[in-house]
Structure 1
Amino acid sequence: MHQRDDDIYASAPLRRLLDEQTRALRPELQRCHGMHGLLLRACGDDRPPALPMLRCWTSLHLDGAGYGGDLRAAANEPLPFVDDAFDLALLRHVLEVAPNAPALLDDAVRILAPGGVLVLTGVHPISGWAPWFYWRTRGESRVLQMPLHLGHDLRQAGLEIECMQRVGRAWPSQERPGSARGSAFGGGYILIARKRRRMATPLRIKPVPVTVPSNGQLSPGARRSSAS
């Protein structure tokens, strides 16, 4: 039986691609640390990765006009979190289903703490997967994101790109295992960026005039260059 269009992320090809992206990301994510991580996902049964140095996860599933999961929120409104709330934000194919992908990306940057890591995954729009993706989601408002454009937007927002590469099989129907890293024709991509830490403003120390005693001798430890 043909699966419904809105079940594309539960299809066998995309499940394989999600697994390959997870394998490619595992070494990078193991180094992430902090108190809070956020998973925004397009696949309903996707689970956060187990990271030894990250304390806890908040997981949201974007489905239609709203988010479900650990809390409920409207998709056309800002994410219900304060600024700088998360040390890691993992967006797994969610930009493909977001009603306003640029706004969601801006919001992900907003809630990311300085020094935090933003990870994006998706189907590459210039690949053998793109025709299959649009055929399976015909009638749906879905847009595949170009990772080069995403990287440019993130740099403009003050993030540093640490990794951008294609992964997985070249075609959705390919049964042979795809390369988990560095596949030039892979159907998926991963993008890792880090939010720059805020620069501390150095304090300018104002010299305090030193009064020279009448005998002309400074007290021990006083610098003559500071004397008025």
Structure 2
Amino acid sequence: MRMLHRDERIYTSAPLRQLADEQTRAMLPDMQRSAGARALSLGVSADSETPALPLIGCWVRMWIAADGYHGDVCATPDAPLPFMDEAFDVVLLRHAVEVVAQPSMLLGEAMRVLAPGGVLVLTGVHPLSGWAPWFYWRTHGLQVLRFPSQLGKQLEHLGLQVERTRRVGRAWPGGAAVQSGSFNPCGGGYVLMARKRCRRATPLRILPAPLRVARGSLPAGTRRSTVF
């Protein structure tokens, strides 16, 4: 998976730290209902914190750098995520689609390691916001901002159901703070939450057991197809 050249300091800057905090507060009420043994946090900086989820057993923390994946587990950039299929009940991608050249591959890997019924959460900077000029100036135009609607369509194609997409945060870097966790139609960030569809159970057709009867008349209501 090819990584984009980027300003390594942008995601540790004060504006994006504030936006990340606002995104966390916005996603937390829905994520706290998630339960399971393991969750995966894949971000873009080593100091990103994981949300406090009381029903999740443990977090695996990773982040994307120019030379690959780092954190609790390391991998080269051209390798798949180093986990078994359906290993996590929650997958959190924090701005991760902004630093990879092919987001569809990353989303496919996130889908693979997510358990049926599990939750996938995406965060990012919205391309139609006051943050976009600042973002492209800081990254010298080498990174691409993704529309959450486009990402949602890719997730639905992969087999996830988008449950909620909301814009959050300040209207521009350094702008006035918004109410904690509230929806802001002009917010510079977005939070997208999707759930992996459970496998459909194949119903079994139960055949009636043959009924052995002695010679003579059949009991009332007995079907001849069940008798031999």
TM-score (norm 1): 0.91
Corresponding residue number in structure 2 for 1:57: 59
CA distance in 2, matches of 1:210, 1:197: 39
Q: What 5-or-longer segments of structure 1 have no aligned partner?
A: none
Q: Counterpart in 2 of 1:213?
A: 214
8 A Cα contact 1:76 1:99, kept in partner = no
How do 1:137-216 residues align onto structure 2 when only pairs under 5 Å count? 137-138=139-140, 141-174=142-175, 176-179=176-179, 180-216=181-217
Q: Deviations over 1:62-114 (max 9, x none)?
A: 01130110011012221111111110000011111123211001110111100
C-alpha separation in 1, matches of 2:146 and 2:73: 26
Q: In 1, distance between residues paired with 2:78 and 2:189?
A: 26
Measure, in 2, the Cα distance between the counterparts of 1:61 and 1:118.
16
- Does residue 16 of structure 2 align to residue 14 of structure 1? yes
Paired with 2:17 and 2:221, the residues of 1 have a C-alpha distance of 71
Which structure is higher in RCO with an 8 Å CA cutoff and minimum separation 6? 2
| Mapped partners of 2:72, 2:193: distance in 1 | 24
Shift of 1:217: 5.7
Identity score, percent: 52
1:23 to 17, 22, 25: 25
**Structure 2 counterpart of 1:153, which letter?**
Q
- For residues 128 and 188 of structure 1, do their structure 2 counterparts lie closer, same or farther at Cα, with a shift above 3 Å needed? same
Aligned partners of 2:26, 2:45: CA distance in 1, in Å? 18
CA distance in 2, matches of 1:118, 1:33: 13
For residue 73 of structure 1, give the secondary structure of its aligned residue in structure 2. Answer: coil
CA distance, structure 1, for counterparts of residue 154 and residue 37 of structure 2:
26
Asked if the contact 2:73/2:82 (under 8 Å) is kept, the reply is: no
Range that drifts further, 22-31 or 201-210: 201-210
Aligned residues: CA RMSD? 1.8
Secondary structure at the residue paired with 2:8?
Answer: helix
How many residue pairs were aligned?
Answer: 220
* Alpha-carbon distance between aligned partners in 1 of 2:154 and 2:102, rounded to the nearest angstrom: 15
Q: Distance in 2 between matches of 1:102 and 1:199?
A: 25
Letter in 1 for 2:190: Y
Q: Deviation above 2 Å: which 4+ runs of structure 1?
A: 178-181, 206-212, 215-218, 225-228
SS where residue 9 of structure 2 aligns?
helix
Three-state SS of the structure 1 residue aligned to 2:135 is helix
Gaps of 5+ in 2: 1-5
